[in-house]
Amino acid sequence: MPSIHRLSDPLINQIAAGEVVERPASVLKEVLENAVDAGAQAIEVALEAGGIKRIRVSDDGCGIDKADLALALERHATSKIASLDDLESVGTMGFRGEALAAISSVARTSLTSRADGASHAWRVDGPGQTPVPAALNRGTVVDVQELYYNTPARRKFLKTDNTEFAHCDDAFRRVALARPDIAMQLSHNGRVSQRLAAGDMTRRTGALLGDDFLAHARAIEADTGPVRLTGFASLPAYSRASRDAQYFFVNGRFVRDKLVTHAIREAYRDILHGSRHPAYVLFLDIDPHTVDVNVHPAKIEVRFRDSRAVHQFIYHALERSLGQSGAGVADHAGT
């Protein structure tokens, strides 16, 4: 056996990238979440070739200081937590400080940013690079090009541009649904595919899932104090053949959770045929101390401290609302 040696930083980052950067959509998710964490009010996404060739995200958030710019691409470098206490009550989407390090180890990544109060912007063209002066009015532009240019084995797993774009579109929708207060735009190969003005949850949901969904959905509103469930869930008339319109957020984070899916399925059991699927956009708000989001690098899985209570709460909230007679949300609103 060869002797034990430490792996180089680039190699460590590339290995970690396997967990964080599965495809263009996972890059987009991370970069979008950074823009949200930066307090952006407007975010613009420009994709080329399904995001494989290019993912460019511009935001008008707080920006990054020149001194921090190179550090932002380093592994385990974050401005978001400093202690274990912070981790247990984390209020930002990010906190692991590894997304940009992972992304920049497998794609040509540049970061241009102008921190609030700075006289001009700075740009870094990759890990270990020195910042150079740049032109930008405010906020940050993250430009990720040629994903997996240096890891051909991974590139082979990418699907067609259209398929990768569909995944990117979904990543965009997840953030857009969770943050209707942020104006968001998505373009692909120079063509704008989504242009969303800042607004409220009903408007944003209608823009992304269609007014037809709202017309056949029940508004959900359940609150026990420590736990709250809000959003929209489709009436049986709007059921779908696939699970393509199912969005569940825990404290603003899109998650996919067996327990949650089961609770929802149970609530529909008597009104929906087994081969049909409900459409929903639901937000669970819960004390962050009672849910662990640090289960997986992509944070798409969560662990509830009292999973039974959460299951019961979701099930009853939905069953109660769906059981009431009457029409959908848009009809109530008179639209």
25 makes contact with Mg ion (CB under 5 A): no
Q: Count the neighbouring beta carbons within 10 Å of the beta carbon of residue 133.
A: 10
CB closer to ligand ADP out of 127 and 328: 127
Q: Which of 158, 229, 211 is nearest to 331 (CA)?
A: 211
Q: Does 109 bind Mg ion (CB under 5 A)?
A: no
Residue 208 CB, shortest distance to ligand ADP, in Å, is 23
Using H for helix, E for strand and C for coil, what is the string for 57-125?
A: EEECCCCCCHHHHCHHHCCCCCCCCCCHHHHHCCCCCCCCCCHHHHHHHHCEEEEEEECCCCCCEEEEC
Residue 289: CB minimum distance to ligand ADP, A: 20
Cα angle 185, 257, 173 (rounded to 5 degrees) comes to 10
231 belongs to the binding site for Mg ion (CB under 5 A): no
- CB closer to Mg ion out of 30 and 44: 30
Looking at beta carbons only, is 92 or 193 nearer to Mg ion? 92
Nearest-approach distance from CB 155 to Mg ion, in angstroms: 23
Q: How much is the CA Rg of the chain, to the nearest whole Å?
A: 21
Q: How far is the CB of 164 from ligand ADP (least distance, A)?
A: 21
Among positions 13, 14, 34, 234, the unique one binding Mg ion when judged by CB under 5 A: 34
Q: Write the Ramachandran bin of 198: left for phi over 0, alpha for psi from -120 to 50, otherwise beta.
A: beta
**Distance of alpha carbon 125 from alpha carbon 157, whole angstroms:** 26
In the complex, least distance from residue 138 CB atom to ligand ADP, rounded to whole angstroms: 11
Q: Is 94 in the site for Mg ion (CB under 5 A)?
A: yes
Please identify which residue in 99, 250, 282, 330 interacts with Mg ion, judged by CB under 5 A: 99
104 binds Mg ion (CB under 5 A): no
Residue closest to ligand ADP (Cβ): 94
CB of 91 to Mg ion, least distance (A): 13
Which residues contribute to the site for ligand ADP (CB under 6 A)? 30, 34-35, 38, 59, 61-64, 72, 77-80, 94-101, 140
Nearer to Mg ion, 107 or 282 (CB): 107
For ligand ADP, give the closer residue by CB, 103 or 207.
103
35 binds, among ligand ADP, Mg ion, none (CB under 5 to 8 A by kind): ligand ADP
At its nearest, how many Å lie between ligand ADP and the CB of residue 262? 30
Which letter does DSSP use for residue 210 in this model? -
Which three-class secondary structure state does DSSP give residue 218?
A: strand
Chain residues binding Mg ion by CB under 5 A are 34, 94, 99
